[in-house]
Structure formats: structure tokens, C-alpha cells
Chains A and B, each alone.
Chain A
Amino acid sequence: MSKKIKNHQIFEIYQEIKGKRIYTKSIVKGTPFSERVVRDGGVDYREFEPRRSKLAAAIVKGAHNIGIRKGDVILYLGASHGYTCSYLSDVVGEEGLIFGIDPAPRVMRDFVFLAENRKNLVPMLSNANHPEEYVDKVCLVDIVYQDIAQKNQAEIFIKNCKMFLKKDGYGLLAVKARSIDVKRKPKGIFNEIRQELEKEFIVADFKSLEPFQLDHCMIIVKKK
């Protein structure tokens, strides 16, 4: 049988030989989000949909370096049901660890069921706006990933990066322009946030997520 899957230029991400769909190698059995699965050489590859995840959208749009490798520890703010988290847990593998934080009990419930299958997902019911509340529940991390629809999302990101991100660690911020201001044009908002982040970090990459996610962008930064 011929091979269907090849390596993507990003670590631990895979790609169809024909077509542009991206995949991750599943570390446990089952499809929690009823996603498409491709079986190749006895291994299950789960499809990573850019319309459902901002990280996947950024990768499809051509982000070269997302900074995430096998065995990393990730702080994930705004974990929600855990769609993106489940793929990140594939990426970091069993040696890695992901702290998933969300303030809403309803979505955390789904996340707990997911975490019971995947031993590298840590569910935490806390508010990312108050990092001092969960400082005794996490450790220093390699990556901070944030996807929160709040007005002060940049401020929350900077606060968390200062506290928990290691030196030279990467931060990924998905900005939703509509929750900052519905009236203004997204481009202006993105530039403003970029400038705000440039004061604290080195901005490594900037990708708008059209057409997969409306009025969103992904900013990848590196801590000085």
C-alpha cells in the first residue's frame, strides 16, 4: 500500500501527499470531536481543521515556526472544549504537559472528560485574568498559547507571559478584533496590539487568519 501521509515542515505535524489537509499523530484511540481519521502504516492520523482551530488556520496560512516541539510544557489560556488542546497534546506527546485554563464550568466539563483519556492534559478551572490565583498550580512553561475573546486580551497575555514563560520561550496569541472593538477595522487593531507586544517581546510572526477565521489574527512572539 502506498503512503498517504508525509511530514509537514512543522515538527510533529503531518500533511496529505495529495491535498492540503494537515494531521497530527494520535497518541490515544478515539475521536472525541468526530473528526476525520486517516490510517497509514498502522497509525491513526487525526485531521486538524483550520475552520475550527486558530492554530491550524495559522499553520495552513503558512506560519513557519510555531515553536512547539515534542516534550514541551504548554500553558493554554482559553482551553474551552479542548479542540486545539487535543491536537497540541498529540504534538507534545506523552512526555509533555499542557495546562488548560478556562473560567467556564460548562466547557470545563467536556475538557475533563478529554483529560481523563489523555494524561498530558491538565484541566484547570480558573480565570486567566488573575494569574496569581493559579500560580501554585502550574510550573514554568515553554509555550504560552492564548485564545480568549476579551477586551484586554493583550494585557492578559503579557501578564501571563511575564509570570510563567521561560526565557526564549514562544508565545502564541490569537487576537479576536471583534471583541476589542466592533466598530473599527481589524487591521488597525492588529497593528496596535502588535506594537504593544513589541515593547515586551520580539515579534516573530504575524498571520491574518482569513478566510478560515473572520477578523482574527495570530501573533507569535519570543520572550527576550
Chain B
Amino acid sequence: MKYLFTSIVGSFVFDNNFNLVEEVRFKKGKLSGKSVEEGLKKKYKDLKKVPEEKLGEVLAFLKKKDYFTQFYNQNLVLTKKKIKSSVSEDLLIIQAISNYIELDKVCNLLSRRLREWYSWYLPEFAESLEDNEKFTELIVERSKKDLMKELGIEDTMGSDLGKEDVREMILLGNEILSLHSLRKKHEDYLQKIMKTYCPNLLALAGVTIGAKLFELGRSLKHLAMLPASTIQLLGAEKALFRHIKTGSKSPKYGVIINHPLIQNAKKQERGKVARSLADKLILCIRLDYFKGEFKALEYKKDLEEKFGQ
């Protein structure tokens, strides 16, 4: 009786006492040896797979300097191939949403600086408008005089800066506007990619919450394996572990707090809404992962009826 063992290095035939009978070494880049195996099977008739308790002897045989470079080369090629094929929609969504969140932060930071800066020039206008994006748009488009006319004032506390000083502010404003437009493009892109990849989740959770769930859950597969209670608390890990360790109050929701259903609920009911929303979300995620039908709108209707909106 003889044993056959195929490794990444080559195919080997051993006899009963695990002495080598024949070996066929693979060339670089050739990773499976089905044809070689079949050839050997024809040559030796009573070939058997190596039983598990005897694997050690085969592996000990392979531990020779002779094979080391081949182990290195073959595994390197294989690993590179695997890394190449590991790029998926999950990754793209995670990168896009991460940048989306970062752009949010940067926009806020720069807008605050612009507001502060512009307040030395025309404080009345900076005070009157809350929305950052609109504020930036207006100061880039219109001059100080126009804005003063709009506000209905004749004199201002701001000093009369020279043209060059104002230009710097306008340049910063343009930069902020382009960041805002990039953010919007990211959102459209996410919408597009999620519509094909996870339509149910998109319909129930919306773009940002859905994508944030991806960021925290790493992938659709991993998300689909999670229980609903974990989905409910994704993004509230700090509070949860504080609760486990010190016995403080448990958190009610993680990133799903921004969902309109929770935002519009009464304060006493929020935890309840979060729980049922998480239940429906996990159903949606599993429908998407196992390529089920489109049911998200039904769930949404259920929830809205249940919580009276």
C-alpha cells in the first residue's frame, strides 16, 4: 500500500514506512496539482490518502532546506492572489463612509475658523446665519455691501479690510465649498453601491447609518452573523463595557440613534423603538446577505404603525 500527499511544493508518493517513492515538484506559480495527482494514481494503483495520525511523518519529511525556497515562492504567489481577490464592496463602502465622516469633521472645523475670521469683517452677518454651508456660499458670492443691504443695516462693527485681506477668506470659502460637494458625491456613490449590494438595509436604515454599520461590522457577512442586540449597540461599545465593568446604566442605542424613528420617538419609548428597529435591521441585513427579496418597506411600515407616526 502506498500513500499520496499533495502539498504546495509538489506531489509525493510514500511507501508503508514513509520512505519516498516518487516526487513531482511543481513549477513556480503552479498551485494545484490535480493533473499530476491523476497521473500518479494511474501509475500506482493502490494509492491512499495520508491518514491524520500519520501526517506528522509526512510534514517532517518536508522539513528540508531543499524545499524552503519553494515554500517561500509558492506561498508568496498564493498570498498575493488571495489579497487581490479579497477586495469587495464591503471595503469600498467602509472607505467611502470613513472619508465621508472625516470630511464632515474637516468641514466643521474650517467653517468655524471662517466664521471667526469673517466676524472681524462683518460680524452682523456671521451672527445672523446658522447653516455653515449656506453661510460660506453667500460670502463667496456676494460683497459686503450687498450683504449689508440684505440685513438692512447701514453701519457695522466690522473693520474695513483691504482687498487682499478679504481675498484670503474667499479662497478658504471656495475650498470649503468644494469639500462640501465632494461629500455630496460620496453620498451619491454610497447610495449607488448600496442599492445593488444591500437594498434592504439601505431602504430601512438610510445611507449614513447603513454605511456606519458596515464600518463597525467590517463586512456584510459578519453583520449577518451578529444578533440583533449587537446591531442595536454597535457604536456604543464604550458605554456597554463601562456598564459591564462598573454596573452603570446600559446604553440603549449605538449609531442607530440618528435614525428618524428614534429621533421622533418619545423619550420613554426610545429604547423600545431602538430594540424593534434593530430587530428589523438584522432581518434586512440577512435578506441582503442571502440574496432574499425586497421587504424593507414592509418592515418600515410596521414600525411606523407600531410607534404611531
Contacts and interface: CB of A to CB of B under 8 A. Distances in A.
Interface of A: 73, 95, 97, 99, 105, 108-109, 112, 115-116, 119-125, 135-141, 163-164, 166, 182-183
A182 B71 contact: no
Main SS at interface, chain A: mixed
B83 A135 contact: no
A112 B76 contact: yes
A163 B52 CA distance: 9
A121 B69 CA distance: 10
B105 to A, nearest CB: 23
B76 A137 contact: no
A124 B79 contact: yes
Contact of A108 (B62, B74, B83, B244): B83
A122 B8 CA distance: 13
A164 B63 CA distance: 11
Nearest to A71: B65
Contacts of A109: 83
Contacts of B82: 105, 125
Given A97-B68, A139-B63, A139-B67, A112 B80 contact: yes
A108 B81 CA distance: 12
Interface in B68-88: 68-69, 71-72, 74-76, 78-80, 82-83, 86
A163 B55 contact: yes
B79 A123 contact: yes
A185 B81 CA distance: 43
Contacts of B86: 105, 125
B95 to A, nearest CB: 11
B171 interface: no
Given A108-B83, A125-B79, A140 B72 contact: no
A124 B75 contact: yes
B83 A122 contact: no
Interface string B45-76: 00000000001100110110101110110111
Contacts of B80: 112
A54 to B, nearest CB: 23
B240 to A, nearest CB: 10
Contacts of A97: 68, 71-72
Nearest to A116: B76
The listed residue with most A CB atoms (<10 A of its CB), out of B5, B56, B241, is: B56
Given A112-B76, A124-B75, A139 B62 contact: yes
A138 B80 CA distance: 17
B119 interface: no
18 contacts: A105-B86, A116-B76, A120-B72, A122-B72, A123-B76, A124-B75, A136-B5, A136-B6, A136-B7, A137-B74, A137-B75, A139-B60, A139-B62, A139-B63, A139-B71, A140-B60, A163-B56, A182-B241
A166 B59 CA distance: 10
Task: Name the residue among B75, B83, B86 with the largest chain A CB count within 10 angstroms.
Answer: B75
Contacts of B83: 105, 108-109, 112, 125
Given A125-B82, A135-B55, A140 B76 contact: no
